[in-house]
Amino acid sequence: MTKKTVSRRAFLMGGAALSGAGLVRAANIKTRPWPGNRDDVHCGIIGYGPQGREITATLARVPGAVVSAICDTYAPMLRRAQRDAPDATRHADYREILDNPDIQAVIVATPTHLHRDIVLDSLEAGKNVYCEAPMASSIDAAKSIARAARDASGQIFQVGQIYRSNPQHRSVFQFMRSGAIGRPAMARGQWHAKESWRRASPNAERVRELNWRLDPELTTGLIGEAALLQMDVAYWVLDELPTAVHGFGQIMGWDDGREVPDTIQAVFEFPSGLHMLFDATLVSSYEEAYEVYMGSESTIVFRDRGKAWMFKEVDSLMLGWEVYARKDRFYKETGIALLANATQLDAQNVDPTEDDPNVETPLWYAMQEFMDNHAFGPYPPAANWERGLEAAAIAITANQAIMERTHKEISPSLYTLD
């Protein structure tokens, strides 16, 4: 068999030869200049907990975005909002933001079980909506949101499945879809963090509100509230939705009266016969978070907010660009770094084997897409209502399997609207 190679120039320029060799096409991760004839997008943040605060800080770096209003039902959070965003108005009732005609877009960053009413009201008010993931904590709520988003003609609805907007994930997605790993055989992933999820307050009612993730009636558990973004990448790059899941959950470290497991395992079954094992824990931070996709030609590893490496089988063909690629050692294995922005680095006379210090976070790219869509769209975002419904259905069903320690089929009807 003739060994297929690709020149360094072809690799860096992303030429037509790349698709034949199954290489990563370079992605354009440069910030799109905000058009001079476009007004800024005035945004309202609904929910000013940790995620709402991170979104607010991120929007401050996104061209065209202005945080003009912040809502939270807890007064100390509004006082913090005053310090963080002094020019934004502050509200305890989100409907005041929706009544403001100057607010064009809202970001819903409340606890998951509160999403439905806020999203439905926001769409009805004519706002463009970014809803944090998971989209909802029940199938009924997820379908209500999906239906409203589908029917909101001319409006933007984007779900916070941020890796779909991330250039690094998009590049490796193309790489895997080209057949670079060969025939997929198995996959696994993990999310590990040593934290209790329990939060304290002198107010008993506030304690319940703060600890919604530990309430089995409200939460989607570790698989939904922590691991959903990684699971979303899995069925995206594998190009198939799981048909069943077997779950296990237990309390292994935080024996404080909680009912929601602090340690879980889930095995997802896919139509191709592939299985993915996923585990998550609040008891140990060992190796933190990663996903692994193993195939007959190579294995792809994602970790560290989307960085990726390829580990080749000894009998797989050598690709010409491997000579120039950065190699990182992982115990007894050597991984070839997969970079999304090799073309830009080369044009800037930057060594493409080094990390680009200007690469932003996945959340930044998601916010940029939301703003760009407002300026240049509307067009379907990478994480639209369909992707949000699929992710919610998987997370909700998997959490049920984990809580019941059983096997559950994932009906195709859960993924679609009637």
- Domains of the chain with CATH codes: 1-29+306-358 (no CATH), 41-163 (3.40.50.720)
pLDDT digits (tens, 9 = 90+) for 271-305: 999 999 999 999 999 999 999 999 999 999 998 77
The CB-side HSE value for 192 (13 A sphere, CA atoms) comes to: 14
Q: How confident is the model at residue 39 (pLDDT cuts 50, 70, 90)?
A: confident
Rounded to whole angstroms, the Cα distance separating 3 from 112 reads 51
Q: How confident is the model at residue 179 (pLDDT cuts 50, 70, 90)?
A: confident
pTM, full prediction: 0.88
Residue 349 pLDDT: 42
Task: Indicate if the pLDDT at residue 320 is higher than 60.
Answer: yes
- Token digits for 7? 């020149």
**For residue 191, which of 170, 217, 148, 221 has the smallest C-alpha distance?**
221
Q: Write the Ramachandran bin of 47: left for phi over 0, alpha for psi from -120 to 50, otherwise beta.
A: left
The CB-side HSE value for 320 (13 A sphere, CA atoms) comes to: 15
pLDDT digits (tens, 9 = 90+) for 330-382: 888 888 888 765 444 444 444 444 555 557 899 999 999 999 998 888 888 99
Asked if 383 and 161 touch (Cβ cutoff 8 Å), the reply is yes
Q: For the sheet containing 275-281, what is the strand order?
A: 327-330, 333-338, 307-312, 298-303, 289-295, 184-192, 275-281, 263-269, 244-250, 407-409
**For residue 392, which of 132, 170, 117 has the smallest C-alpha distance?**
132
Residue with tokens 């063909």: 317
